Amino acid sequence: MLKQILFCAGVFLLCFVAVKGQSDKNRVHVPGYLVESRVEKLDLKTPVSLVYNQYVQAYIDVYTFKRPDHLSNILARSELYFPLFEEYLDKYDLPLELKYLAVIESALDPRAKSSSGAYGLWQFLYQSSRMFDLKINSYVDERADPVKATDAACRYLKYLYANFNDWSLAIAAYNGGIGVVKEAILKTGGETDYWKLRPHLPEQVRGYVPAFIAVNYAMKYYPSYEIQKREAEFSYDDLHTTTLSGGITFDQISRKTGIKEDVLRLLNPVYKMDYIPACQKPVRIVLPKENLVNFMQNKSSFILEKEPVVERNPAPGDTAGRTKLSHIVARGEFFHEIAMRYQCTVEDLMVWNDFEDKNLLAGQRLTVWEPVLSNCSRIRILDVEEGVDFHDFNTSARPSINEVANVSN
Q: How far is Cα 325 from Cα 371, in angstroms, rounded to an integer?
A: 10
The residue ranges of every structural domain in the chain are 236-301, 322-377
Q: 337, exposed or middle or buried, with CB in 10 Å at 0-12, 13-18, 19+?
A: middle
Q: Residues 6 or more apart from 206 whose CB is under 8 A from it? A: 55, 198, 199, 401
Q: Please, are residues 97 and 214 in contact by the beta-carbon 8 Å criterion?
A: no
Per-residue model confidence (pLDDT) at position 69: 95
Q: Residues 6 or more apart from 404 whose CB is under 8 A from it? A: 104, 105, 211
Per-residue model confidence (pLDDT) at position 371: 73
Q: Please, are residues 103 and 162 in contact by the beta-carbon 8 Å criterion?
A: no
* CATH homologous superfamily of 322-377: LysM domain (3.10.350.10)
Query: Residue type for 84, please?
Result: L
Per-residue model confidence (pLDDT) at position 405: 47
Q: How far is Cα 253 from Cα 238, in angstroms, rounded to an integer?
A: 19
Per-residue model confidence (pLDDT) at position 342: 79
Nearest to 344 by CA among 331, 362, 327, 359: 327
Query: Residue type for 315, please?
Result: A
Q: How far is Cα 109 from Cα 121, in angstroms, rounded to an integer?
A: 6
Q: Please, are residues 215 and 100 in contact by the beta-carbon 8 Å criterion?
A: yes
Q: How far is Cα 224 from Cα 65, in angstroms, rounded to an integer?
A: 12
| Number of residues in the chain | 409
Per-residue model confidence (pLDDT) at position 33: 95
Q: Please, are residues 408 and 194 in contact by the beta-carbon 8 Å criterion?
A: no
Per-residue model confidence (pLDDT) at position 4: 53
pLDDT tens for each residue of the chain, 409 residues long: 544 544 455 545 544 444 444 445 457 889 999 999 999 999 999 999 999 999 999 999 999 999 999 999 999 999 999 999 999 999 999 999 999 999 999 999 999 999 889 999 999 998 888 888 899 999 999 999 999 999 999 999 999 999 999 999 999 999 999 999 999 999 999 999 999 999 999 998 999 999 999 999 999 999 999 999 999 999 999 999 999 888 899 999 999 899 999 999 999 999 999 999 988 888 999 999 999 988 988 887 776 554 544 445 567 777 777 888 888 888 777 777 788 777 788 888 888 998 887 788 888 888 988 876 433 222 222 232 333 232 333 343 344 444 444 433 3
Task: Give whole-number Cα distances, 370 to 7, 238, 322, in Å.
Answer: 73, 45, 5
Residue 206: CB atoms within 10 A of its CB come to 20
Per-residue model confidence (pLDDT) at position 399: 41
